[in-house]
Structure 1
Amino acid sequence: MTVLCVDFGGTEIKLGMLDDANILTSATLPNTGNEADLDAVRDAAFRMSTASESPIDAVGIAVPGVVDRKRGALVAAHDKYDWATGRDLRVWATETFDVPAVIENDARAALLGETTFGCAAGETDAVLVTLGTGIGTAALIDGVLLRGAHDHAGILGGHITVDIDGPVCNCGNTGCAEAIASTWALRRDAAADPVLAAALGTEAQHLGIKDLIAHADHPVVAPVLDRYLRAWGAAIVGVCHAYDPDVVIVSGGVMRSADVLLPRLTEYVHSHLWSSSFRPPLLTPDAPEHSVLLGLSAAAPRKDLP
């Protein structure tokens, strides 16, 4: 079965035609922030289907926010995808491609992908923390993705307060890990601090966490990266205390620098967990950019099922 998987990310849209874990073809589109992105996805999907000679049997869609799975709609993604909020994307996909569709939070999809096909395949108790434009989290307990009564459970680990005197987050909370250590937080801070911006050597609006890592030896940048690592570590400690996993998956494009980040994150987490807590290994996917696509392939409804 061929599944069209669409990952609406914070800065770009990733598409893939997948048969289970086999990526037949993939593409990346810019996120323009308006409804025209759906037209671009449609056109790209039909081109990919033709090029791979694979008809689309199902569609999986991931978005970076709270998803009401009963309505097939994005409920909230602060400062992201305003045009999609409240819209039933399953209906759009079904009408566009004439196949069944599923919509999922991107972190939950990534966790499903990595525990089904990826670096934690076969694990039934796991959490995922994805680092990038924001901080996404998800939890798998006894083999079941945690959702909660209102679809908010497990996915707001990036909005754990790690500094009660920290900046106000776009979610309305104070001192969230995401408000301290994310791409949008870095761009905010660099715009307000010309010394930091000069040290990073890139205009604030184009900065990414990769720029912190690339300039990690700079005396201005080093303490900023250290604060990011401590904020990420505190968020991971929080989800470990909440869900008691056997393994922690740390994903996101920034984890292409896992050799730099993962040892420091592991040290922080293991030294800050409750005294009797299990010290789970921290893993990172071989291809973190594909985690969401793999999860959507695993979650996709089958055409012959109701």
Structure 2
Amino acid sequence: MTQLCIDFGGTNIKLGLWNNGSVVASEEFRVSGTTRDLATVERRSRALCAGAAVTGVGIAVPGVVDRRAGRLVRAHGKYEYLDGVDLKAWGEAQFGASVALENDARAALIGETAYGCAAGEKDAVMVTLGTGIGTAAIIDGVVLRGAHDHAGILGGHLTVDVDGPRCSCGNIGCAEALASTWAIGGLLGELLAHGEHAGRDADEPIGMKEIIEAALAPDPDAVAGRVLDRFCRVWGAVIVGLCHAYDPDVVIVSGGIMRAGDLLLPRFQEYADAYLWSSSYRPRFVTPERPDLSVLRGLAAIAGATEASSRTVRSTCGPE
């Protein structure tokens, strides 16, 4: 069985072709923020398939989804052009196969507990760090979704500072408003206003990758180090909140920045050990070998389950 997996990420859109749980081919491209993204996904997916018989399609989006209706419900400030788009119908029309839609963090959790770094775990939480902060939970082998598909995925919108800035979601002091890619500029501006400098031109773009590289360099940049330290404490607070809520055996931390996981995971473990409720279980921390593939891996598992439980429409990716 071959699944086409499409991950609408905050910064990049990733495509993957999977067969029996293994990636056959993958690629990614920058999000444009317009309907051109859909056209690019169609074109590049067909090229990636190269005539392969696709039996299922998995689509992930960074926000609340209505899986039955096949739509993105809300992702504040992200993918506004998908509002009202029936992604299931779109995928079925384009690729001629059954389509499964899921929140990206849930998909990542499913992938890593199905056949990733937490394979076989029945009680786990996922934290994905990148453009935003995604979370998800599985309890006693059941992925947490709730009555309205909101459960478990809004950990990035836990309030960690009641005097903090207003988040794009409307809440105050959300973790995502304080420690995500889009929060870097505000924190740097605050530090620069106090006479500190970031060791680079003020107009030079800076993202999470640059912050981590500068903070962890042999000759570390002090301001980058302060930004990373602040972010790690905010992320640690999110992890502690998730552990208090869901009591997991394992915490999975994924996302592109976890390529530096050997340096970041000990910080998260230390924070959790220090601040969890005294009798709380101290979970182990893991990160995928390929954190960039967590969502795609989960989509393959979800698409495979969907096609197994419904009438499978076998088709090749058709001509452009």
Give structure 1 stretches of 5+ with no counterpart. Answer: none
CA-CA distance at 1:266 after TM superposition: 0.4
Once residues 109 and 203 of structure 1 are traced to their aligned partners in structure 2, the CA distance between those partners, rounded to angstroms, is 37
Match of 2:259 among 256, 259, 262: 256
CA-CA distance at 1:220 after TM superposition: 2.1
- Is the CA contact 1:62–1:105 (under 8 Å) kept in the aligned structure 2? yes
Match of 2:247 among 244, 247, 253: 244
Partner of 1:20: 20
Partner of 1:219: 222
Structure of higher RCO (CA pairs closer than 8 Å, 6+ residues apart): 2
CA-CA distance at 1:194 after TM superposition: 4.7
Once residues 262 and 200 of structure 1 are traced to their aligned partners in structure 2, the CA distance between those partners, rounded to angstroms, is 26
Once residues 99 and 263 of structure 1 are traced to their aligned partners in structure 2, the CA distance between those partners, rounded to angstroms, is 43
1:114 match: secondary structure: helix
* Paired residues, number: 304
Give structure 2 stretches of 5+ with no counterpart. Answer: 312-320
Partner of 2:142: 144
Once residues 75 and 204 of structure 2 are traced to their aligned partners in structure 1, the CA distance between those partners, rounded to angstroms, is 20
What fraction of aligned residue pairs are identical, expressed as a percent? 55
1:67 match: secondary structure: strand
Deviations 1:79-110 (A, max 9, x none): 10000123110000001111100110000000
Write out aligned runs for 1:97-112 (5 A). 97-112=95-110
Once residues 14 and 218 of structure 1 are traced to their aligned partners in structure 2, the CA distance between those partners, rounded to angstroms, is 31
Write out aligned runs for 1:188-203 (5 A). 188-190=186-188, 194=192, 199=198, 201=200
Match of 1:165 among 159, 163, 166: 163
Partner of 1:266: 269
**Residue 287 in 1 paired to residue 286 in 2?**
no
Match of 1:181 among 171, 179, 183: 179
- Is the CA contact 1:139–1:145 (under 8 Å) kept in the aligned structure 2? yes
Partner of 2:209: 210
Match of 1:302 among 303, 307, 313: 307
Q: With the length of structure 1 as denominator, give the TM-score of the two structures.
A: 0.95
Once residues 116 and 304 of structure 1 are traced to their aligned partners in structure 2, the CA distance between those partners, rounded to angstroms, is 17
1:199 match: secondary structure: coil
Write out aligned runs for 1:79-94 (5 A). 79-94=77-92
Q: 1:203 to 1:282 in 2, by over 3 A?
A: farther
Deviations 1:52-80 (A, max 9, x none): x5221111000000001111100111110
CA-CA distance at 1:204 after TM superposition: 6.4
Q: 1:204 to 1:252 in 2, by over 3 A?
A: farther
Most deviating of 198-207 and 247-256: 198-207
Deviations 1:237-278 (A, max 9, x none): 001100001100000011111122111110001111011110
